[in-house]
């Protein structure tokens, strides 16, 4: 990506991020618009949208606990795909399956045309997939900048001897990863904390650093497990704006787990609803909002859904 347009994008995104979010909020299901105006459904080949990611018949259990049962899911290129559901519904398990942390008992993960029984975690970054974790998974002993730069570690080809002696391709790599990390920090408005140890930052900022670490590789598929958990309303809308801006800037496809239904409705193109490991709904925000089974599932655990955002 040429630098000038990138820098422009950065300024756009950080300056107008709140507005981007505001425009997103009054439930504008992008997907429906796309199919209505027959314009360009993203990634369509001869009129048929080919999914970047699809899950087929995924089943996973831990001992007697069924975490996922016969899950099918397709994620189109460029969309923001939300997964919601009560606690223990299997959302994180699903992301763990997609990223290869868990091996499903049944089913396949199809990524970019290749089918996997277990996605190779070690090659995930090379496949263009990045993720964040529900519980913070930063490298506490590294600075914010180094955390983010480590998101490019998969590309490093110099060896330790070259790095120690500062010879060969190591210097160029080091310069390159630093400057890209710095650009992402600026994009996410984190430049002022770049030299702080990641572990010393407040929770909300750590979540954002984790997003930066995932984004620096400019992944095609970004998996976000509750990126806004534990944030104030203000922080949440900021984060939502960043997620949207990241999608727009890097043409990244996003799979998003989030409990705050208000945020999800405004941000996502399509929503899959899990309950006890089963998918009970999969539709646009408006349709999900009025789905009786979804309402039942949430009413059943009303106390867990303190965020209040009513369906």
Partner 1 sequence: MTAISVDFASAPVLPKWLVPVLLLAVAYGVVPLIGSSYLFEAILLPFLALSLAGVGLNILTGYAGQVSLGSAAFMAAGAFAAYNFNLRVEGLPLIGSIFLAGIVAAAIGIVFGLPSLRLKGFYLAVSTLAAQFFVQWALTKFSWFSNNSASGVIDAPRLSISGFALDGAIGRYLFALTVVTVLTFLAHRLVSSQTGRNFIAIRDNETAARIIGIPVLKTKLLAFAISSFIIGVAGVIWAFAYLRTVEPDGFDLDRSFQILFIIIIGGLASIRGAFFGAALIVVFPLALSRLGVFLLGDLFDSGVLDMSQRIVLGALIILFLILEPDGLVALWDRVRRRLLFAWQST
Judged by the rule CB under 5 A, the positions of this chain that interact with Mg ion are 92, 134
Q: Binding residues for ligand ATP, how many (CB under 6 A)?
A: 12
**Measured from the CB of residue 61, what is the shortest distance to ligand ATP in angstroms?**
8
| DSSP-derived pairing of the beta strands 129-131 and 80-84 | unpaired
Does 87 engage in binding with ligand ATP (CB under 6 A)? Answer: yes
Q: Are 109 and 98 in contact (CB under 8 A)?
A: yes
In the 8-state DSSP scheme, what is residue 193? Answer: G
What, of partner 1, Mg ion, ligand ATP, none, does residue 65 touch, CB below 5 to 8 Å by kind? ligand ATP
**Measured from the CB of residue 287, what is the shortest distance to ligand ATP in angstroms?**
21
**Footprint on residues 105-144 left by ligand ATP (CB under 6 A):** 134
What, of Mg ion, partner 1, ligand ATP, none, does residue 67 touch, CB below 5 to 8 Å by kind? ligand ATP
- The CA distance from 189 to 300, in Å, is 39
In the 8-state DSSP scheme, what is residue 143? Answer: B
What, of Mg ion, partner 1, ligand ATP, none, does residue 237 touch, CB below 5 to 8 Å by kind? none
- The CA distance from 75 to 70, in Å, is 17
Q: Can you name the residues that pair with 256 across neighbouring β-strands?
A: 82, 224
What, of partner 1, ligand ATP, Mg ion, none, does residue 284 touch, CB below 5 to 8 Å by kind? none
**Measured from the CB of residue 179, what is the shortest distance to ligand ATP in angstroms?**
36
Give the nearer residue to partner 1 in terms of CB position, either 10 or 49. Answer: 10
Query: Which residues in this chain contact partner 1 in the complex, by CB under 8 A?
Result: 99, 101, 121-126, 130-131, 133, 137-142, 146, 149-151, 153-156, 158-160, 163-166, 170, 173-174, 177, 186, 191-192, 213-214, 217
Backbone angles phi, psi at 281, to 5 degrees: -160, 155
**Footprint on residues 24-63 left by ligand ATP (CB under 6 A):** 62
**CB atoms inside a 10 Å sphere around CB 28:** 14
Piece of 90-98, 168-176, 230-238, 247-255 that binds ligand ATP (CB under 6 A): 90-98
Does 294 engage in binding with ligand ATP (CB under 6 A)? Answer: no
| DSSP-derived pairing of the beta strands 129-131 and 221-225 | parallel
Among 34, 93, 237, 305, binds ligand ATP (CB under 6 A): 93
Nearest Cα residue to 184 out of 253, 131, 246:
246
**CB atoms inside a 10 Å sphere around CB 165:** 9
- The CA distance from 253 to 129, in Å, is 10
What, of Mg ion, ligand ATP, partner 1, none, does residue 255 touch, CB below 5 to 8 Å by kind? none
Nearest Cα residue to 119 out of 131, 136, 133:
131
**Measured from the CB of residue 160, what is the shortest distance to partner 1 in angstroms?**
4
- The CA distance from 267 to 281, in Å, is 18
Does 91 engage in binding with ligand ATP (CB under 6 A)? Answer: yes
Q: Are 131 and 226 in contact (CB under 8 A)?
A: no
Contact residues toward ligand ATP (CB under 6 A) are 62, 65, 67, 85, 87-93, 134
């Amino acid at each position: 990506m040429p630098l000038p347009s990138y820098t422009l994008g950065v300024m756009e995104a950080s300056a107008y991020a709140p507005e981007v979010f505001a425009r997103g909020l009054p439930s504008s299901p992008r997907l429906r618009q796309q199919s209505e105006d027959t314009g360009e459904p993203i990634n369509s080949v001869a009129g048929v949208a080919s999914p970047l990611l699809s899950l087929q018949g995924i089943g996973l259990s831990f001992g007697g606990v069924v975490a996922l049962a016969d899950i099918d899911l397709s994620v189109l290129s460029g969309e923001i795909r939300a997964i919601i559901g009560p606690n223990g519904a299997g959302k994180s398990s699903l992301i763990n399956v997609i990223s290869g942390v868990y091996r499903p008992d049944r089913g396949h993960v199809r990524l970019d045309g290749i089918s996997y029984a277990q996605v190779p975690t070690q090659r995930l970054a090379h496949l263009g997939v990045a993720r964040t974790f529900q519980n913070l998974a930063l490298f506490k002993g590294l600075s914010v900048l180094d955390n983010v730069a480590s998101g490019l570690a998969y590309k490093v080809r110099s060896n330790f001897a070259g790095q120690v002696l500062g010879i060969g391709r190591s210097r160029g790599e080091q310069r390159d990863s630093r400057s890209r990390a710095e650009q992402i920090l600026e994009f996410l408005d984190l430049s002022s904390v770049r030299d702080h140890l990641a572990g010393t930052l407040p929770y909300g900022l750590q979540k954002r650093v984790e997003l930066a670490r995932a984004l620096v590789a400019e992944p095609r598929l970004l998996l976000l497990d509750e990126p806004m958990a534990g944030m104030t309303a203000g922080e949440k809308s900021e984060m939502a704006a960043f997620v949207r801006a990241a999608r727009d800037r890097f043409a990244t496809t996003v799979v998003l787990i989030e409990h705050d239904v208000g945020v999800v409705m405004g941000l996502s193109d399509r929503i899959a609803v899990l309950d006890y490991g089963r998918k009970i709904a999969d539709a646009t925000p408006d349709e999900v909002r009025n789905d009786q089974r979804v309402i039942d599932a949430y009413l059943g655990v009303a106390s867990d859904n303190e965020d209040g955002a009513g369906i």
